[in-house]
Amino acid sequence: MSKTFVPSPETPAVLTANDLRDGRCVWMGEGGWTGKPAEAVLYEDPGLAELALLDAQAQGHVVVGPYLIEAARGPDGRAAPAHFREAFRNGGPTTEPAARNANARQPEASHV
């Protein structure tokens, strides 16, 4: 766990990682990893958050790079991104063919 961020009721954390098979972002939900960030468990207790992180790190056959991030509590009480970076990650990998094609550079005109 980051020593600069300690989960609390005011600033809860969620556990996130990338799925080992396809690289997509996943979050730890009540029943295991989920692709829906709103279903993530909100950790308010630093000890429980640390135990969850250790458990996730032992799941190297399922996920890669698990870490705790600061989260917000949405109007419905469920997890919501607290920072732009996490909201952006929710959109999926930018290495997807559709994302690459949308951002592809146009071929340069040949010099005559």
List, for residues 16-49, the tens digit of each pLDDT value: 999 999 888 999 999 999 999 899 999 999 999 9
Phi-psi region of 61 (alpha: psi -120 to 50; beta: other; left: phi over 0): alpha
DSSP state of 3: S
What is the reported pLDDT for 61? 95
Q: How many CA atoms lie within 13 A of 22 on its CB side?
A: 8
pTM of the model: 0.72
